[in-house]
Amino acid sequence: MKGPLGFGMDDLLQETLQLQRKLADGLKLLPGMEDVDYGVTERQPVWSDGKVTLYRFVGTGAPSGQPPLLIVYALVNRPYMVDLQDGRSLVQKLLAAGQDVYVLDWGYPDRSERFLTLEDYLLRYLDGAVDHLHAQHGGAPNLLGICQGGVFSLCYAALRPHKVRNLVTMVTPVDFHTPDNMLSHWARHVDVDLFVDTLGNVPADLMNASYLMLKPFRLNVQKYVGLVDILDDRQALEDFLRMEKWIFDSPDLAGEAFREFVKQFYQANGLMHGGIRIGAEVVDLENLRMPVLNIYAEQDHLVPPAASRALRGRTGSDDYTELGFRGGHIGIYVSARAQREVPSAIHGWLSERP
């Protein structure tokens, strides 16, 4: 007999027995689980400066001869979300399509990098990697900037437009003051000078806690409750653990670069109002005269779609394309739908602009 809530004692009993079975299976499965890792594609270091390394991904076939594609990721996470595992890899799909793919790995800053600035990251490290690719391939590379790496790519391409052939940005904030940007609301009220002067480098655990609190129930409770449902599924459990490892394998952030980024982008909203300075140089998005592809995730809670779409009309390019895909900030790289749609869209767009 069903109760007023739509279930009865028999339903509760079956649910309890099923839970017990899953827990028992999990106790057998978990001790035998090996450590999981991410980054499925072979890669080779081709250039470095300090802790920063440029890697070239090795595909099974020869590149098609298009300009190389340099992926620029954010500082706060490792860049291998774009190459998470077999079958869930943006890099794999791009290589299979004939792209020659590189990634810039920022490394793990320690106290010796406390005073690195945005000028160091953009006009020393990123510029050095671009110069290496130019020398090796005989021309300017394409840039694919992701999240904060997209902001870096916008600024770099505006400062050195002759060094970038085509620019692709993914889940990249341009307007940091959209009403639905919770992270920005927090950052605008931080005394960042006191913060950095006290801490030096910004601890990765502190940044991760901030991101998790954007969706506290979903990211701190619900996903671990849901873990019970997959305790008897080795593949699903490996996928879960791989994602958890990536999330919590985060570098600390160089203090001065963090200070500059929060002040100029989150607090001053400089890409919208002007005045972004990288060292002695001022960023002007009107200098972006190369073709631009701007990709956003329609369910992104970290970079709301409106924050990305604000790029329209602010570049100097007469070749601007904007594409939205279903998914969140991470799902746009690894979901089954994204794997079908996003790499082919990037490759198709680049192939039309050799």
Asked if 155 is an active-site residue, the reply is: no
**Do residues 70 and 144 lie in contact, with contact meaning Cβ atoms separated by under 8 Å?**
yes
H/E element, 145: strand 142-146
The active-site residue out of 147, 151, 167, 271 is 147
Q: DSSP letter for 325, please.
A: E
Distance (Å) of CA 298 to CA 196, 224, 262, 304: 33, 25, 24, 8
Segment 40-43 long-range contacts (CB within 8 Å, at least 24 positions apart):
40/83, 40/84, 40/85, 40/86, 40/89, 40/92, 41/83, 41/89, 41/91, 41/92, 41/95, 43/103
- For the CA atoms of 110, 81, 101, 86, the dihedral, rounded to the nearest 10 degrees, stands at 130
Across 19-130, the runs of DSSP E, i.e. the strands, are 43-49, 52-57, 69-72, 101-105
End-to-end CA distance of the chain: 68
Distance between CA 108 and CA 250 in Å, rounded? 8
Looking from the CA of 202 toward its CB, the CA atoms found within 13 Å total: 25
How do strand 52-57 and strand 43-49 relate by DSSP bridges?
A: antiparallel
- Tokens 């860049």 belong to which residue? 79
**Do residues 126 and 104 lie in contact, with contact meaning Cβ atoms separated by under 8 Å?**
yes
**Do residues 57 and 102 lie in contact, with contact meaning Cβ atoms separated by under 8 Å?**
yes
The catalytic site residues sit at: 147
